[in-house]
Amino acid sequence: MDFNSLLEQLQTQRPELADSLALLRQYQNNKKEKEDDDTAVDMDREEKLTALLEKQKEINKGILHQFRKLERNYQLLIEQMDQFAEAVGACPECWGEDSLCNSCHGRGKPGYYQPNPTYFNMYIRPVLSKLKTINNNS
């Protein structure tokens, strides 16, 4: 039995409570309207939050894409720096700048190690050739 049916039954049995029951009915109707309004507001709020969440997901995807791109570029730079250190015979960890380095104990400045011929030819020999050409033309 719903609330309104209960109120009608009470009014039939106790007519002297008609005014009080009318107030209860009015209170219940107002409460139901407020709940309906609150539900509409909650649904609107939920839609807005869902839209914001989707927007944030897209932003996060973009940030993650940029992060991964930076991470790849960083790895490439590290690899190139390691190759260049090998080309000039330097410690790839600290270039001889850190006395606490586990690899060279600060002694690994360029020329400390035997240069890697492949990387020497890739990075250093073209510079030496260019300098030789410039000096010969002077």
Task: Give tens-digit pLDDT for 40-74.
Answer: 667 788 888 999 999 999 999 999 999 999 999 99
pLDDT band at 2 (very low <50, low <70, confident <90, very high): confident
- Domain range spanning residue 121? 57-138
pLDDT at 73 (0 to 100) = 97
C-alpha span between 5 and 127 (Å, rounded) = 98
Mean pLDDT, the chain, integer: 89
Tokens 């330097």 locate to 90
The total domain count for the chain is 1
pLDDT above 90 as % of the chain = 59
Residue 97 lies in a domain: yes
Residue 93 lies in a domain: yes
Residue 115 lies in a domain: yes
C-alpha span between 90 and 16 (Å, rounded) = 104
Tokens 């897209």 locate to 58
Q: Which amino acid is at 94?
A: C
pLDDT at 3 over 80: no
Q: What is the DSSP string of 9-26?
A: HHHHH-GGGHHHHHHHHH
Per residue in 103-125, pLDDT tens? 999 999 999 999 999 999 999 99
DSSP assignment, residue 113? Answer: S
Q: Which residues contact 10 (CB under 8 A, 6 or more apart)?
A: 17, 21
DSSP assignment, residue 16? Answer: G
C-alpha span between 88 and 117 (Å, rounded) = 9
Alpha helices in 89-124 (DSSP H): 117-119
Among 116, 97, 115, which Cα is nearest to 107's? 97
Of residues 11 and 55, more confidence is placed in 55
Mean pLDDT of 21-46: 75
Residue 30 lies in a domain: no
Of residues 127 and 42, more confidence is placed in 127
pLDDT at 37 (0 to 100) = 64
pLDDT at 10 (0 to 100) = 73
Residue 15 lies in a domain: no
Residue 130 lies in a domain: yes
- Distance in Å from the first CA to the final CA of the chain: 109
